[in-house]
Amino acid sequence: MEVKDFSWNSLAGRMLLVVFFSLVTLVGYFVFGLSFSGSPAETGRTLFDENCQSCHTFGGGEIVGPDLQGIFDRREREWVARFITSPDWMIAEGDPVAMELLIEFNGVEMPNQALAEADVELIMLFLESQDSLTQAVLELPRGSAGRGESLFTGDQLLEAGGTPCMACHTVGGIGEYGGGTLGPDLTRAYERYGEPGLTSVMQNISFPAMKYVYGGKNLSGQEIADLLAFFIEADTAGDEGMADQATGLFWMSGIGGAVVLFGFMALFWPRQSKNQIERLRIKAETASKGKL
């Protein structure tokens, strides 16, 4: 077939058109269909469950952060969107409402989760469509502080294979010289978050750095109960006692090391230095004798 004979009305032309439009439909389906599977508010709910639920209820009272019921009555929509997008910036900027909230919530800062603008909008839509949202309260088995400590330090492995907390956190004087420093010191976690708050953040881990490590490796109810018991014990023992123990250990090993070092010096240095001085003197004497 010669190109100049081509006509969209020919059989070949129509077939080409059919193929072209099928392709457009397919591409359209993958680009738009997949990201909008489910209603926007539904997608917003999934995002909320993954990123916010551990700290906020909607009509269920305060846990780590404020109850979000009535949020749009007490704040401007734009403020809410900005706060969800970058709470850290709002606090750094000294936004008066953000500062007030920070004080009210024991200095616990809402983490910046680096959410895309579109995702924040979907969460906003979900919040606006919500009357009340109560999460089931997890019934915890009895916890053991001793087991909690083993889980924290990694002496006992987490069932789902998550990294032991001590890789990034320390509690009082745990371990000889404390644990990791990537995450905050958790000695006072119980005081700051309270029991429901601490349970909830362990149940639905949504701190960015932790989400990355614990994705799909949830803690079991027993593990949460054990860790909680351990945090309660650490908090009541007081960080001072425990931290003192750690600093005490640090000083003791320092002093111990110094004593051993001085002991060696006491044994060898005087004799050696005397010898050396002696040798120098003899050398000098013989040299001057030689000159005379």
Closer to ligand HEC by Cβ: residue 181 or 286? 181
- Phi, psi of 155, rounded to the nearest 5 degrees: -60, -35
| Tokens 């709470």 sit on residue | 87
Give the 3-state secondary structure of residue 185.
Answer: coil
Short-list 118, 108, 69, CA closest to 88: 108
Short-list 16, 24, 23, CA closest to 8: 16
Alpha-carbon Rg for the chain, nearest whole angstrom, is 33
Q: Tell whether residue 75 is a contact of ligand HEC (CB under 6 A).
A: yes
Percent helix, strand, coil in the chain, to 5, is 60, 0, 35
| Shortest Å, Cβ 245 to ligand HEC | 21
Q: Tell whether residue 168 is a contact of ligand HEC (CB under 6 A).
A: yes
Q: Near ligand HEC by CB under 6 A, which window of 38-46, 208-216, 262-270, 281-289?
A: 208-216
Q: Tell whether residue 105 is a contact of ligand HEC (CB under 6 A).
A: yes
Closer to ligand HEC by Cβ: residue 173 or 204? 204
Cβ atoms of 80 and 65 within 8 Å: the answer is: no
45, 85, 110, 226: which one binds ligand HEC (CB under 6 A):
110
Q: Near ligand HEC by CB under 6 A, which window of 83-91, 129-137, 242-250, 258-266?
A: 83-91
CA distance 99 to 107: 9
109 DSSP 8-state letter: P
Q: Tell whether residue 109 is a contact of ligand HEC (CB under 6 A).
A: yes
169, 199, 235, 246: which one binds ligand HEC (CB under 6 A):
169
Size of the residue set binding ligand HEC (CB under 6 A): 46
CA distance 230 to 134: 28
Q: Tell whether residue 165 is a contact of ligand HEC (CB under 6 A).
A: yes
Provide the 10 A C-beta neighbour count for residue 105. Answer: 18
33 DSSP 8-state letter: I
Q: Tell whether residue 71 is a contact of ligand HEC (CB under 6 A).
A: yes
- For residue 221, with 0-12 CB atoms within 10 Å meaning exposed, 13-18 middle and 19 or more buried, which class applies? middle
Cβ atoms of 32 and 24 within 8 Å: the answer is: no
123, 229, 234, 242: which one binds ligand HEC (CB under 6 A):
123
Closer to ligand HEC by Cβ: residue 207 or 250? 207
43, 45, 57, 80: which one binds ligand HEC (CB under 6 A):
80
23, 160, 182, 259: which one binds ligand HEC (CB under 6 A):
182
Q: Near ligand HEC by CB under 6 A, which window of 9-17, 176-184, 232-240, 272-280?
A: 176-184
Instruction: Please report, as ranges, the residues that interact with ligand HEC according to CB under 6 A.
Output: 51-52, 54-56, 64-66, 68, 71, 75, 80, 83-84, 87, 101-102, 105, 108-111, 113, 115, 123, 163, 165, 167-169, 182-184, 186, 189, 198, 201-202, 206-210, 213, 219, 227
